[in-house]
Amino acid sequence: MMTHFIQKGNVEATELDGEWIILNTEQYTITKLNGVGGLCWSLLNEVQTVDTLTNSLVEEYKAVQTKEHIKQDIEEFLSNLTQCGLIEHVNRP
């Protein structure tokens, strides 16, 4: 069974000079993302999986890294966003 993720509703996000600034309004924390992280963040406006995010990055950036390497990076990224309280797991059948 795949894990699905989506942005939590308790955040405000804005893009400034190619970077994303995300404010968690419950925990009063600020998280800064680069352009790649910002793309993933914008995609997380809708339910995503590690695989859907990986495929989007491969397509967008015509990645030279192996897909498996990108997938590992996405897994770590999602883990960090979860720990920061910015995304949550969604139950899907």
pLDDT for res 48:
97
pLDDT for res 66:
83
DSSP state string for the chain: ---EEEE-SSEEEEEETTEEEEEETTTTEEEEE-HHHHHHHHHTTS-B-HHHHHHHHHHHHT--S-HHHHHHHHHHHHHHHHHTTSEEEE---
Write out the chain's pLDDT in tens, 93 residues.
689 999 998 899 999 988 999 999 888 999 999 999 999 999 999 999 999 999 999 998 886 678 889 999 999 999 999 999 999 999 876
pLDDT for res 10:
84
